[in-house]
Structure 1
Amino acid sequence: MNGLILLLPPLVPILMALFAHRLERRWWLFSAALPALFIGLLAEEGSGITIPWVLLGMHFALDSTGRLFLLFGALIWMLAALFIPSRDLAPGATGYIKQTFLLALAGNGLLILAADMLTFYVGFALMGLSAYGLVWGRSQRARRAARVYLVFTLVGELALFAALLFLMVSGGSLLFEDLTAEPMPAIALALLLLGFGIKVALPGLHLWLPRAYTLAPMYGVAVLSGPMMKAGLLGWLRFLPFGTPLEPAWGNGLLLLGVAGVVLGMLIGVVQRQPRAVLAYSSIAKMGLFSALIGFSLNHPQLAGGLLPVIVLLALHHLLVKPMLFMGLALWQRNHPGFWLLPALLLLALSLAAFPLTGGGAAKSALSTALGGQLAGLLLLSGIAGVALMGRFLWLLKGRVISVQQDPIPAPGWLLLLPVAVWTPFSWQAFIFEWKTLLPLVAGTALFFLGLVCRRWLDSLRLAMRHKGQHLNLGAVQIHADMPDASSTLRQIWLPLKQAAQPLRFDPASNASLALRDPAVWWLLLMLALLGTLSLSLFI
């Protein structure tokens, strides 16, 4: 009986999706995440169930990591459900939104409870593809962002499927517990890093994220930035061979990409002019830290046992705080925000920046202890990035853009979840103040105010370069330059790089055929074809 209840988190939302058009009240969507919440709170750890007649056999199990992801993810899904409009924005639009929301919720629950690779893949694909409807919006720019998200998601899904085939052929088993029995093929490891790297927005694979976070409806951004993004990290935790020695190049490569993500997120994020865009690049910086820690764990199997649980706690903190910041921003953009909202947003920003006496500070302290003094420079850089980005986010709130809401936004529910987000993971050590923890805060604050001082100088530089035939807009990360005479081959290389340098500057296409002319899309389609050929080669 204990094993049967593990079927409820994916099964209940799927059944509700069949009747989504008749679910007029948002509380029905709220209740769809209750099974995940109750299992995270009450189910017995170690329980499991196998359904041998579905696919190649579906295996479900609840471990400590899955319990935490299920529990805290359910809180965000429940609150995000209350942000879905209760009336149609267009004929049939609300029913479509509810269906995609419920299917994405089902996929998230399925992948968390999966004990085998194929079940995990089915849940991951269901969640990722259904989220297309959560990114899709009424504007042309939002629809284009949804198409870009879909292209990246398809590439990631195919990479994971190819990796699954290689692992099944090399090991002969689909169970996670059997992954360490045989050495992992290098091609499978590369595909896993690619497939999940898209979800966690590794540098170069992050181009979908600023678009989606800036243009998608708030209910979509909340789950994208929380449970869905952390699903990529959970995939690495489930699939990667942390206890098996690997070539140092794998761990070092992921570590360097993670550091690049921290730097990229900080440098581009602090010059954004939209609060949503700042939060988007903050996610890139934070996931860069997680990626670097995963790479470090691959190279140090002796430390992985103590480090991975701390990474999980840090990820759960981000899973809660980042969606809360997005939803708090939606509250701030109402006509009459309460006097309590700005202090609440300040608390969340301080917690995300790992301020002492918060859950973020406790998690960062535990991480420093688990690393044993190693990667001190990375932790300092990440702390500076967090403070600078949160300072920029709070600064932009002064230019509040009012949006008229058709439905009341559930401020009481947001407030109830606020202390959980700010002080998770709770630890009494968080209330032990140490002066050395202020170093990243002081450095990040200094960087932020230095940016304000240099703002006029940067504007003058931009105007000067414009007169020289170039246009440099540091505020929106837009780079336009006159192309010198070059061969067609060089132009084909230049165009995708130019598009990649301006992720928030894609002009809306009037139809789908124009969208496919985007060189970046064609590069991704080429990668899709290569991965498909690679998968088919197993059977030739």
Structure 2
Amino acid sequence: MMLTLWIVSVLAPLLVAAVLAGTHRARTPRIRVIAQRHLSLAPLSLLPAALLTLLAPAEPLHANWLMMGITVGFDVVSRALTMVAVLLYAAAIWAVTWRYDHRAPELVAYLLVCFVGNAGVYLAQDVVMLYASFSLMSLAAVGLVVHERTAEAFRATRIYLVLAVISEMAVLAGVVFTAQAGGYLVVDAPAAVAESPHRAVIVVLLILGFGIKAGLVGLHMWLPLAHPAAPPPASAVLSGAMVKAGLVGMLRLLPLGEAAMPAVGAAVIVLALFGAFAAVVLGVVQRDPKVVLAYSTISQMGFLSVLVGTALVAPELAGACITAAVIYAVHHGLAKGALFIGVPVWKHHATGLRRHLVIAGMAVAGLVVVGAPLSSGAVGKYAAKEAIESTEIWGVQVADLLPFVATGSTVLLVRLAWILLATEREPRHPKDDPALPAWLLLVALSASVPWILTDRWVPLDSVPGLEPVTLWDATWPMLIGLGIGALAWYVVPRWLPRLSAHLETIMKPGDLVIPIEAGTHRLAMGARFITERIGTLRDSVSDVAINLGIGGTRTVAQVARAETAAAKWSNSGAALIAVLIVLTVLMLFTEGTS
């Protein structure tokens, strides 16, 4: 019975995705109309996964007949996150089904495939299953980013694909090393990596590969480009669920609790904190509400990455850090998804009496994200602060810095409110756009379900109480953020309009991508110039050789064919060789210093 439920949980969304993809490509208008009418049933394909999450026992399931033999199962990391993914993807699909867009079946199909890969990362208990699911999710997400077919969407897709390929290469290499060291099963992976002679290389590869998906600073460039390009429901799952796959990959395979790696751990903490605060600076000057939310996600994933770095520095804190990371991810996922889907809801429904309802919903989701007192988000931040205890970096208590991440989140949400209030409304009646009830349900779930999930499946030793000190600790970072946001709201438009416009010009979405693109363009122009000069020189030498009787047209044709072949190979081969050289040098360096 349970095996059947496992199979149905995977096949149901994939079969629905296949049917939707087939009807979307159908040339018969009648078939497309049928697909549109039945599109609203697509969220029901996730019902078996919800039942599986509730009913499946803790014992893993071994399927020796599939691939190389896979193992899946639920544990303290996977169960609550899987339920959050089910709810978030269902709400996103529900919001899409009411768009009556001719490409809605395509978007829903990609969302369903992404869900299978996303949940597979959470549930994988061996490295083959983990990598296969991670790859499926990463590649299927391309359909979400490119969906609108705009110039911005194509640019975001190109950048996403480049980083996704780098991520895939790094994760694959790390997984191969891990399996070779004896960590084929996820439960054995941390100890195997800790004892491997290539430990430093494996850890760097895994942090690079999974860090790209998690939006670790320096690897985050795809996030602020992909989110505004993708439709809001797709952005909701990208930020609320998919980035957590990168976090889960690190929690699964890094040697957390098995070996102390103070240098690597300190580097992760520093990068994570820098990203958490730098994302605020970059986010507050943006004009697109989804870009602001994207930088908010980068900031909060920096918060989570601090826990990973702490577990590498202090193995004795690994258990508490893993639990705190899962709790924070659970509380963050639904609320951030509600904010993304709330952007079009505000545009279409924040009028008349519904305006107050939409304001209340956005306020609830925002309070959860910043971890306001008595909200579910406060539990996640309380758990994180308790987990890292007295961890220090360069003499600074990391726990003293974490509350200011909430300050930055509050500033970004004030900026979001600023933009939304200035957004021109396009009122729609709920009968014409019933995305409103889907969003309200998601808001309600974000405020209530995380309490239930974490209490049942990720129990804490202690939870924040109602003591004045505890409430004040959760309140003052938010008050500072509100003060900074209100001051900027008043001062910038009146006294610093030119500075504001200048900052918006130089701090464009994607930040690091802009100089990289410029540098790449210059290199390409330089390569083209050199190629043209070489071609001119070749023609001159060929003419001289023919005049002297040294060679003939056959020789010239052979040289031309070789040049053409080399030019074609260089488009992909040069990039591959460059990556391999960097990884080889990194391996030699880490081997020499370990």
Task: Settle same-fold status: TM greater than 0.5.
Answer: yes
Q: 2:497 maps to what in 1?
A: 459
* Closer/same/farther in 2, CA of residues 335 and 438 from structure 1, 3 Å limit: closer
1:436 corresponds to which letter in structure 2? D
Q: Is 1:165 the counterpart of 2:176 in the alignment?
A: yes
- Comparing 284-293 and 237-246, the one that deviates more: 237-246
Counterpart residue number, 2:527:
none
- Find out whether 1:377 has 2:400 as its counterpart: yes
TM superposition shift of 1:450: 3.2
Distance 2:350 2:316 in 1: 54
**How big is each residue's C-alpha offset from its partner over 1:214-267, in whole Å with a ceiling of 9 and x where there is no partner?**
121122111101111111111111111111123311101110110111111111
Paired AA for residue 295 in structure 2: Y
Alignment of 1:325-474 (within 5 A): 325-334=339-348, 337=351, 338=354, 339-372=356-389, 374=391, 375-403=398-426, 408-423=433-448, 425-426=450-451, 429=464, 431-433=466-468, 434-455=471-492, 456-461=494-499, 472-474=502-504
Tell me how far apart the structure 2 counterparts of residues 31 and 200 of structure 1 sit (CA, whole Å). Answer: 28
In structure 2, which of residues 122, 126, 130 is the aligned counterpart of residue 112 of structure 1?
122
Residues 178 and 475 (structure 1), Cα distance of their counterparts in 2 relative to 1, 3 Å cut: same
Query: How big is the shift at 1:83?
Result: 2.2
Alignment of 1:528-539 (within 5 A): 528-531=576-579
User: Structure 1 residues 146 and 133 mapped into 2: Cα distance closer, same or farther (>3 Å)?
Assistant: same
Question: Residue type matched to 1:27 in 2?
Answer: S
Q: Distance in 1 between matches of 2:315 and 2:350?
A: 53
Aligned residue pairs: how many? 492
Shift of 1:494: 9.5
Amino acid at match of 1:97: L
User: Does the 8 Å CA contact 1:180/1:244 hold for their aligned counterparts?
Assistant: yes
What SS does the corresponding residue of 1:50 show, helix, strand or coil? Answer: strand
Query: 2:156 is matched with which residue?
Result: 145
**Counterpart secondary structure, 2:62:** strand
Q: Structure 2 CA distance, aligned partners of 1:221 and 1:425?
A: 20
- AA aligned to 1:195 is G
SS where residue 474 of structure 1 aligns?
helix
Find the aligned partners of 2:487 and 2:98 in 1 and give their Cα distance. Answer: 45
CA separation of 1:217/1:430 partners in 2, compared to 1, >3 Å: closer, same or farther? Answer: farther
Distance 1:524 1:212 in 2: 24
Within 5 Å, give how 1:86-105 maps onto structure 2. 89=101, 93-105=103-115
- 1:477 aligned to 2:507? yes
CA deviations on 1:455-476 (whole Å, 9 max, x unpaired) are: 144434478xxxxxxxx33367
Rounded to whole Å, the distance in 1 between the matches of 2:332 and 2:514 is 36
Gaps of 5+ in 2: 24-34, 392-397, 456-462, 521-569, 588-594
Q: 2: CA distance between counterparts of 1:111 and 1:35?
A: 17
Shift of 1:126: 0.5
2:380 and 2:191 map into 1 onto residues whose CA distance is 32
In 1, are the aligned partners of 2:264 and 2:309 still within 8 Å (CA)?
yes
| Deviation of the 1:430 alpha carbon | 5.7
Displacement after TM superposition at 1:189 (Å)? 1.0
Take 1:440 and 1:377, find their aligned partners in 2: how far apart are those partners?
11
Residues 423-432 or 274-283, more deviating: 423-432
1:231 maps to amino acid: A
Correspondence for 2:45: 32
**Unaligned residue ranges in structure 1 (runs of 5+):** 464-471, 480-492, 501-521
Residues 312 and 318 in structure 2, CA contact (< 8 A), matched pair in contact too: yes
Aligned-residue CA RMSD in angstroms?
A: 3.0
C-alpha separation between the residues in 2 aligned to 1:336 and 1:296? Answer: 43
Q: Is structure 2 residue 256 aligned with structure 1 residue 231?
A: no
Q: Provide closer, same or farther for how the CA distance between residues 73 and 189 of structure 1 changes in structure 2, counting only shifts above 3 A.
A: same
Distance 1:384 1:494, change over 3 A: closer
- The one-letter amino acid of 2:113's match is L
- Counting only pairs closer than 5 Å after superposition, residues 519-534 of structure 1 correspond to structure 2 as 528-531=576-579
Give the secondary-structure state (helix, strand or coil) at the position aligned to 2:96.
coil
Offset at 1:98?
3.1
Percent identity between the aligned chains?
A: 31
Deviations for 1:181-221, whole angstroms, at most 9, x for unmatched residues? 43242211111001111111111211111111112112211
C-alpha change, 1:250 and 1:373, in structure 2 (3 Å) is: closer
The alpha-carbon distance between structure 1 residues 536 and 13, as it changes in their structure 2 partners (threshold 3 A), is farther
2: CA distance, partners of 1:368 / 1:495:
36
Matched, 1:246 2:266: no
Greater helix percent: which structure?
A: 2
Q: Which has the larger radius of gyration?
A: 2
Task: Write the distance in 2 (CA, Å) between the matches of 1:190 and 1:523.
Answer: 27
Shift of 1:431: 4.9
Q: Does 1:54 align with 2:71?
A: no
Change (3 A) 1:269 1:383: same
| Equivalent residue number for residue 72 of structure 1 | 84
CA distance in structure 1 between the partners assigned to 2:426 and 2:209 by the alignment: 36
1:429-451 Cα offsets, whole Å, 9 max, x none, are 46555223322122212221332
1:269 equivalent in alignment to 2:283? yes
Q: Is the 1:201–1:209 contact (alpha carbons within 8 Å) kept by the matching residues of 2?
A: yes
Maintained 8 Å contact 1:162/1:534: no
How far, CA to CA, are the matches of 1:86 and 1:32 in structure 2?
17
Q: Indicate conservation of the 8 Å contact 2:85/2:115, yes or no.
A: no
Relative distance call for 1:244 and 1:527 in structure 2 (3 A) is farther
SS at match of 1:250: helix
One-letter identity of the residue aligned with 2:172: F
Is the alpha carbon distance of 1:436 and 1:525 closer, same or farther for their aligned partners in structure 2, counting shifts above 3 Å?
farther
- Answer whether contact 1:155 1:524 (CA < 8 A) is retained: no
The residue aligned with 1:14 is 14
Q: Is the 8 A contact 2:286 2:508 kept in 1?
A: no
For residue 236 of structure 1, what is the amino acid of its counterpart?
A: M
Name the CA shift for 1:94/1:439 in 2 (closer, same or farther; >3 Å). closer
| Aligned-partner Cα distance in 2 for 1:154–1:417 | 33
- SS of alignment partner, residue 372 of structure 2: coil
